Structure 1
Amino acid sequence: MLYSQVMDNSSEAGSVQPIPVFLHGFLGSTQDWKRCLSYLKSPQSIQVDLPCHGMSKYCEVDDFEGACQQIQLTILAQLKKRKLPLDSPLVLVGYSLGARISMYGISQKSLPELNIKGAILEGGNFGIQAEEDKMQRWEGDKHWSKRFATESMEEVLFDWYQQGVFATLTEEQRELLVEMRSDNLGSQLGCMLRATSLSKQPYLLDALKAQSLPLLYICGEHDAKFRALAEESGLNCKIVTNSGHNSHHEQPQQYAQIVDEFLISLDLAK
């Protein structure tokens, strides 16, 4: 089972507001949401360390299905532990890899025991359609996987955050991220990178749009790549101002407000 944390500030018994479940991105952990959660008004939330990350670093999976199974087991265990109904309404809030796993779980019906009422997707890639591009991505992920497993974490992280998607980061922000991520285990990161490579992910946008669930795509104002994906997707989209790819980290108060507004907007009677 994966490591998870629960934030519970509920003062009203019997609150029917959905419980947000926060799923971090590659290299991250439950700690990534700490600043955002300090602004969140939602009475309860669950944060999960994904396989091979944080306190779940020794929990390995082979693919997206395995990741979804572990997340489902973990959430059900938390609900049971807190004596909450197992069909408690939930909203997935995923960033990058967490968003991709959320999209996969929703569109492929891989979280069947969870009562998911909606999802917030931050900077998640819908998938690759061209086979040639998939092969190229797989070669790239294998390259990074080998580097994480065989080289010093600091060196690999420094190069990782030089990638185009992180172009809006300042040098100070890069150094902070390298410091934050350096306690990861490289071999485990490589395992997760191979298991959930974008090259192995189905193209999920069409299947997502076919769902009846409310979906909100979030991206940073200066995240050119994912802002374009969001605007072309046809999904409901919110732009976080003065931020790049990692909006919840760069603008936690603004992000928390968006999450709270989405939760309040849901009609649980449906």
Structure 2
Amino acid sequence: MMLPLVLLHGFLGSGDDWQDVRRHWPNQRALISPNLPDAQTLAGSEDSANIEVYSRYAWEQLQTNLPEQFHLLGYSLGGRIAMHWASQATGRIQSLLLESAHPGLPNQAARRERLIQDRQWAQRFASEPLSEVLHDWYQQAVFQDLSDCQRTQLISARRRQDPAAMAALMRVTSLGEQADLMTQLSQQKTFKAYITGGQDAKFMATAQALQAQKPCLKLVLFDTLGHNCHAGAPAAFAERISHLLSNEERPS
């Protein structure tokens, strides 16, 4: 039986970000790509809100419209949320696949530095012209593989969003307030694969570190791509993930 695949988008994205993957999907498996909920309620009412709190909130908002059992694939921020769902929704998630998702910073100093950076970004999203902030956002090293045309297209698509919502999500989901989940992930039985681009050195290192702790973990590598593999090569991405899931479901 083909279980559905739930796809969680990254920061600044939406469920529509998976349209090209859906277009190239090679079989009849159902693909479900919800929009992650607004974080402004949490950001405005709870100073202690973080990625764990937001992940529970997102699950509460979305789970009634999700299948009883499903595979789960999250990209970047969506992958970090998926990590938390995998421990919160035991029994419903058949397998966990992560694309360019950070398991957490290893020490308090690194988390403190990242929290400062993310709060600065949140302030910029909330107060500065959005096109200028997005231009600077997509100049970060993690997006170095993007062409000028791709950056322009992303900025054009993202600038229609609500800056206050962007700022709230950045504050609530800062990597600076996330626990280091590396060991927990390595022990998570449902965690089956990590997907990354060969040109994304930061997340290649993350993939290798995870695989060192969990040797049975499948590493799905797209040699010529950077941070966002599903956008960079949707047809190849769809083919490889479809094949991986079919193998997972095959009786041993």
Separation in 2, partners of 1:232, 1:25: 22
Q: How is 1:1-270 mapped onto 2 (pairs within 5 angstroms)? A: 16-40=1-25, 41-52=27-38, 60=42, 62-79=49-66, 87=68, 89-106=69-86, 109-112=87-90, 115-234=92-211, 235-267=217-249
Separation in 2, partners of 1:151, 1:245: 26
Q: Are 1:128 and 1:203, in contact at CA under 8 Å, matched by a contact in 2?
A: yes
Separation in 1, partners of 2:8, 2:2: 19
**Residue type of the partner of 2:233?**
Q
Q: Are 2:40 and 2:168, in contact at CA under 8 Å, matched by a contact in 1?
A: no
| Secondary structure in structure 1 of the residue aligned to 2:33 | strand
Deviation for aligned residue 1:120: 1.3
Percent of aligned pairs with the same amino acid: 31
CA 1:58–1:128 in 2, change beyond 3 Å: closer, same or farther? closer
Deviation for aligned residue 1:111: 2.5
Please report the TM-score for the alignment, with normalisation by the length of structure 1. 0.83
**Residue type of the partner of 1:26?**
F
**Residue type of the partner of 2:20?**
R
CA RMSD of aligned residues (A): 2.0
Deviation for aligned residue 1:241: 3.4
Q: Are 1:122 and 1:217, in contact at CA under 8 Å, matched by a contact in 2?
A: yes
Larger helix percent: 2
| Secondary structure in structure 1 of the residue aligned to 2:88 | coil
Q: Partner residue of 2:46?
A: none
| Secondary structure in structure 1 of the residue aligned to 2:121 | helix
CA 1:119–1:59 in 2, change beyond 3 Å: closer, same or farther? farther
Deviation for aligned residue 1:232: 2.4
Q: Deviations over 1:182-218 (max 9, x none)?
A: 1111111111111111011111111011121142100
Q: Partner residue of 1:10?
A: none
Deviation >4 Å, runs of 4+: 57-61
Q: Are 1:219 and 1:239, in contact at CA under 8 Å, matched by a contact in 2?
A: yes
| Secondary structure in structure 1 of the residue aligned to 2:22 | helix
Aligned positions, number: 241
| Secondary structure in structure 1 of the residue aligned to 2:56 | helix
Deviation for aligned residue 1:43: 2.4
Deviation for aligned residue 1:166: 0.7
Instruction: For structure 2, list consecutive stretches of 5 or more residues without a partner in the other structure.
Output: 44-48, 212-216
Separation in 2, partners of 1:105, 1:251: 27
CA 1:246–1:105 in 2, change beyond 3 Å: closer, same or farther? same
Separation in 1, partners of 2:3, 2:147: 36
Please report the TM-score for the alignment, with normalisation by the length of structure 2. 0.88
| Secondary structure in structure 2 of the residue aligned to 1:98 | helix
CA 1:166–1:194 in 2, change beyond 3 Å: closer, same or farther? same
**Residue type of the partner of 2:155?**
V
Q: Are 2:194 and 2:218, in contact at CA under 8 Å, matched by a contact in 1?
A: yes
Instruction: For structure 1, list consecutive stretches of 5 or more residues without a partner in the other structure.
Output: 1-15, 80-85
Q: Are 1:104 and 1:204, in contact at CA under 8 Å, matched by a contact in 2?
A: no
Deviation for aligned residue 1:147: 0.1
Separation in 2, partners of 1:49, 1:167: 26
Separation in 1, partners of 2:3, 2:17: 21
Q: Deviations over 1:119-142 (max 9, x none)?
A: 110000111112111111010000
**Residue type of the partner of 1:93?**
L
Shifted more, 235-244 versus 148-157: the winner is 235-244
Q: Partner residue of 1:7?
A: none
